[in-house]
Structure 1
Amino acid sequence: MNVVVFDLETTGLSPERDGIVEIGAVRIVDGQVDESQKYETLVRPTGEGGQALLIPWRAEQVHGISNEMVRRAPAIAEVLPEFLEFVNGWPVVAHNIGFDGSFMRVNARRQGLTWQPAAEHCTVQLSRRAFPKERAHNLNAVADRLGLNFAPGGRHRSYGDVQVTAQAYLRLMERLSTPA
C-alpha cells in the first residue's frame, strides 16, 4: 500500500475563484506512514492569470493562515511542479478528495500541467462505508471515532490534517478489509 496523503488550505471553496494557501503531504510506504517523506509549504494565493488573491477573514479564522504569513511564500506556479514531482503519479488520498482534487486540477490546468495521480481515494467515502450508521464524517468525527488526535495547533493546517488523515486511512482500510 503506497499512497500520498495530501491536504490543502485555501482562500475559499471555489477552485475557479479561490487560491491555495498551503499544501501538506506525506507518503505511506508499504502500509506505514513515512514522516521522512513529507511535503509542506505555504503558498502565496493567486487566481486566474496569476493575479494576487487576499485571504478573506473567514478563511483565516478557519486555518489561521494570514496574508502576512504568505506574503513572501512561493506562488502556486513555483510550488505546483514541485508538488507534482513529490506525488510522482502515486495514488493519492485526501479527506474529501473532491474538494482537494478539484483545486489541484484547476491549478494544474492554469499552469499547463496535469493532475494525474494513479488513483484518488477519499477518507470521507471510506468512513461512510466503514460506519454506515453514523451521520458525521468530517475529519474531527472520523478522528474521534478512530481514537486519533491532532497535534497541538495541527487542526486546519495542511500537515496536521494530513497526519490524522493518513492514520485514518490506514485504520479505515484495515477495518474495511476485516470481515465483520
Structure 2
Amino acid sequence: MNVVVFDLETTGLSPERDAIVEIGALRVRDGQVVEAERFDTLVRPVNAAGDVLRIPWQAQRVHGISDSMVRDAPQLAHVLPEFLDFVGDSPVVAHNVGFDGGFMRAAARRHGLVWSPPQEYCTMQLSRRAFPGERSHKLDLLAQRLGLSFAPGGRHRSFGDVQVTAEAFVRLMERLRVGA
C-alpha cells in the first residue's frame, strides 16, 4: 500500500475557470502514513496572462484562505512540477478524487505537463463500499465513523484534510481488506 494522498483548495468548483490556492500531500508506505514525506504549500492564483486572481468570498468562507495569505506564495507554474515530482509514479488518493484529479489534469494541461497517476483511489467511494447503509460520505462523517479527528484549524485546509484522508484510507483498506 504505497500511495500519495493529496488534497487541493481552490477558488471555486470549475477546473477550467478556477485556480488552485493550496496543495497538501502525504505519502503512505506499507500501510503507514509517513508524516515526514509531505508536500504542503499555498499557491498564488494567477490567470494565463499572469494577472493575480482574487479568491472569492464564498471560497474563503470554506477554506479560510485569503488574498493576503497567498500574496507571497509561489505561482502554480513553480509549484506544479515540484508536486508532480513528489507524486512520481505513485498511485494517488483523494476524498472525491474526481474533483481534485480534475483540477490536477486541467492545471497540468495548462502548464504543458501531464497528470496521469497509474491509479486513483477515492476515499469517498471506499467509504460507500465500507459503509453501504450510510447516506452521506463527507470527509467529516467518515472521520467520525473511523474515530479520526482533524487538527485544530485543519478542516478544509489541504494538509489538515490530507492527514485525515490518509488515515481514513489506511483504515478503509484494512476494513475492506484491499491491497493497493
Q: What band does the TM-score fall into relative to the shorter chain? A: over 0.9
Please give the TM-score of this superposition, normalised by the length of structure 1. Answer: 0.96
Aligned partner of 2:165 in structure 1 is 165
| Matched position secondary structure for 2:16 | coil
Q: CA-atom RMSD, angstroms? A: 1.0
1:175 alignment partner AA: R
Gaps (5+ residues) in structure 1?
none
Q: Secondary structure at the match of 2:80?
A: helix
Aligned length: 178
Question: Is the aligned partner of 1:74 residue 2:74?
Answer: yes
Whether 1:44 and 2:62 are equivalent positions in the alignment is no
**Cα distance, 1:49 vs. partner?**
4.4
1:30-54 per-residue CA deviation (whole Å, 9 max, x = no partner) reads 1100001000000001234443211
Residue pair 1:2, 1:27 contacting (<8 A) in 2 also = yes
Distance 2:104 2:89 in 1: 13
Percent identity for Structure 1 against Structure 2: 69
Q: Is the 8 A contact 1:95 1:124 kept in 2?
A: yes
Q: Is the 8 A contact 1:44 1:74 kept in 2?
A: yes
Q: Which amino acid aligns with 2:144?
A: D
Normalized against structure 2, the TM-score is what?
0.96
Q: Residues 16 and 48 of structure 1 are in contact (CA less than 8 Å); yes or no, is this contact kept in structure 2? A: no
1:161 counterpart SS class: helix
Query: Matches of residues 88-107 of structure 1 in structure 2 within 5 Å?
Result: 88-107=88-107
Q: CA 1:129 to 1:93, structure 2 compared with 1: closer, same or farther past 3 Å?
A: same
- Aligned to 1:82, the other structure's residue is in SS state helix
Match of 2:60, SS?
A: helix
- Whether the 8 Å CA contact 1:18–1:53 is kept in 2: the answer is no
Unaligned residue ranges in structure 2 (runs of 5+): none
